[in-house]
Amino acid sequence: MVATDPRRNIPRTDRLLADPEVIAAGEHLNQATIKAIIAEVQTAARTGEIPVAEVAPTIISKLGSRAASSLTPVLNATGILVHTNLGRAPLSPAAAQAVTEAAGYVDVEMDLVSGRRSKRGTRAKAALLQACPAAEDALVVNNGAAALLLAVTALRNRGTGAGSGAKRDTAPNPVHSPSTARSDASPGEIIISRGELIEIGAGFRLTDLMTTTGARLREVGTTNRTHLADYADAIGEDTSCLLKVHTSNFRVEGFTSSVEVAELRTLADEHELPLIVDLGSGLFTPDPALPDEPDIDTALRAGADLVIVSGDKLLGGPQAGLILGRTEAVQRVAKHPLARALRTDKLTLAALEATITHTSNPIHDALHIDLDRLRERTATLAEAVGAAIVAHDGRVGGGGAPGVPLPGWAVELPEGCAPALRTGDPAIVTRVHQGRCLVDLRCVPETDDDRLAAAVTAVLGRLGDGA
């Protein structure tokens, strides 16, 4: 007699949906989500991952523990401050509170005194201008790539006599001025150094982004050396703008040279060309901890018409593209139709304003961490779990300060601890290097030290037991 396949006894979807316990457990979820969880558990039973008898209890458990989002909070124990795979910058408590307060109805585009419509993002813009007095105006869009796309699309020389965004004393060159021979319909050429042709994560190239506008890239110089004469020789009647990009995710050393913003400003004035500088990383002013990292204030004072940075890198705020610069240039960008498609939402504006107006955030604090206190915390963790301390350099990451070490320490564990820590509760992401699992506390809130120590102790215990 052939035994009956137990999978025939997997409860049907309609019966599970009618189960009072399933209904009670899923009362906070919509029907589509409940059905998806039921299907997932039924599939697990069919493949033998769980016993058929556990289908209903498993569904009830999953429904009851279903979080508002499928994203899993993690403790970043890698030592990398701006970790792209972990969402880049964690928001400060003030920014998180601002997001919560902005989640409902807010006066994002209303003047409550007059009751009339107002402009979006005025308070975030005011905060940006207070933080960076060298900027005359500012605009916030949804990310750094969007800011660059919008800038090279909108800020093209059109023979206005102020193609650079502000009237200059230098008269235009009648031979090379783009306005003398190029029609408004032509997107023109963007002049950029070969040493600044950047590819960022997931194979995304800034060059591809810019050519989607229809413009052509005019590469000048070589990978390691570009001179002012290279830019000057490339300028022609079809030149649209000069673009300088900070190589924020790599560093070329040795026999190198590049052209400073102030030198490009002089050349741009000679030909009535806009000068756009994409810094990426987002420092308002110079930071002694990163002496070679360019900042917005310096670039603007050197003559950039527009400076572009990301809000979620060294600024330590939400994902956003920040465009700061001369009033005429920013307004041309803001009035372009593409600006509407790339504008940011109320939650981002709220978080950005809170980040700028408050004194600290997790990125700033991790960058300027008290090394003596970091050493003490690391020693306490090592003693608690019975492991060794090793020297370990943290990194800025996320397209900022490439190759710059942030000296510190880590607790050294067996490599096999890494996957168990990642999939535990709390989820802990560590650095795996040369066959070791390294736990760096630089980016871990001190209030989570005990949770982290308990998790590491549990994992080491399981590995010791051969589990």
Is 317:356 a contact under the CB 8 Å cutoff? Answer: yes
| Residue listed under structure tokens 């001025």 | 177
Q: Could you give the C-alpha distances from 434 to 38, 421, 464, in angstroms and in order?
A: 42, 18, 21
For residue 288, say if its preceding peptide bond is cis, omega within 30 degrees of 0: no
- Residue type at position 375: R
CB 181 within 8 A of CB 174: no
Residue, of 180 and 108, whose pLDDT is higher: 108
Residue 329: pLDDT over 70? yes
Over pLDDT 70: what percentage of the chain?
93
Per the model's pLDDT, the better-predicted residue between 442 and 254 turns out to be 442
CA dihedral 311, 128, 328, 332 (to 10 degrees): 40
- Averaged pLDDT, 8-23: 94
Indicate whether 296 pLDDT > 80.
yes
CA 103 to chain centre: 21
| Mean pLDDT of the 262-272 span | 97
Round the average pLDDT of the chain to a whole number and report it.
91
Query: With 0-12 CB in 10 A as exposed, 13-18 as middle and 19+ as buried, what is 462?
Result: middle
Q: Is the pLDDT of residue 339 over 90?
A: yes
Percent of the chain's residues with pLDDT above 90:
80
Whether 178 has a pLDDT exceeding 50, the answer reads: no
Comparing 176-185, 257-266, 311-320, which segment has the lowest mean pLDDT?
A: 176-185
Residue 175 scores a pLDDT above 80: no
Name the residue among 67, 99, 84, 92 with its Cα closest to residue 445.
92
Whole-number Å distance between alpha carbons of 182 and 240: 9
pLDDT per residue over 223-243, tens digit each? 999 999 999 999 999 999 999
| Average pLDDT score over residue span 253-281 | 94
Q: Parallel, antiparallel, or unpaired: how do β-strands 321-325 and 137-141 relate? A: antiparallel
The H-or-E segment that residue 18 falls in is: helix 13-18
Mean pLDDT along residues 249-266 = 90
What average pLDDT does the segment 400-427 reach?
Answer: 95
> Do the Cβ atoms of 245 and 259 come closer than 8 Å?
no
For 111-120, 206-215, 231-240, 333-342, which range has the lowest pLDDT when averaged over its residues? 206-215
What is residue 202's predicted lDDT score, i.e. its pLDDT? 72
Cα 367 from Cα 390, distance rounded (Å): 19
pLDDT value of position 68:
87
The one-letter amino acid code at 212 reads: T
According to DSSP, the residues that pair with 435 across neighbouring strands are none
Q: Which sign, positive or negative, has the C-alpha torsion 50, 18, 23, 32? A: positive
At residue 185, the pLDDT reads 53
First-residue to last-residue Cα distance in the chain: 39
Question: Which pLDDT band, with edges at 50, 70 and 90, does 467 fall under?
Answer: low
pTM of the model: 0.88
DSSP 8-state class, residue 173: P
Contact 272, 177 (CB under 8 A): yes
Indicate whether 167 pLDDT > 80. Answer: no
* pLDDT at residue number 168: 46
Residue 251 has pLDDT above 50, yes or no: yes
CA 323 to chain centre: 15
pLDDT at 466: 64
Residue 14 binned pLDDT confidence (cut-offs 50, 70, 90): very high
Spatial separation of the C-alpha atoms in residues 329 and 162, rounded to whole Å:
9
Q: Provide the pLDDT for residue 166.
A: 42
DSSP strand E in 234-381: where?
239-245, 275-280, 306-310, 321-325
Question: pLDDT digit string (tens) for 34-83?
Answer: 999 999 999 999 999 999 999 999 999 999 999 888 899 999 999 999 99
Cα dihedral 98, 102, 106, 109, rounded to 10, equals 80
DSSP state of 222: -
Q: Which two tokens stand for residue 404?
A: 């710059």
**Beta-carbon-side half-sphere exposure of residue 158 (alpha carbons within 13 Å):** 11
Digit-coded pLDDT (tens) for 349-365: 999 999 999 989 999 99
Residue 182, pLDDT above cutoff 60: no
Two tokens, residue 60: 């009830």
State mean pLDDT over 426-445: 97
Residue 184's SS3 state is coil
What value does the mean pLDDT take over residues 397-403? 84
Residue 284 above 50 pLDDT? yes
Is residue 9 packed enough to be buried (19+ CB in 10 Å), middle (13-18) or exposed (0-12)? exposed
Enter the tokens of residue 78: 């890698």
Rg (CA), the chain: 27
**Residue 165, pLDDT above cutoff 50:** no
User: Would you place residue 464 in the very low, low, confident or very high pLDDT band (cuts 50, 70, 90)?
Assistant: confident
Confidence band of 112 (pLDDT split at 50, 70, 90): very high
What confidence score (pLDDT) does residue 157 get?
61
Supply the DSSP string of 105-141, one letter for each residue: ---TTEETTTTEE--TTHHHHHHHHHH-TT-SEEEEE
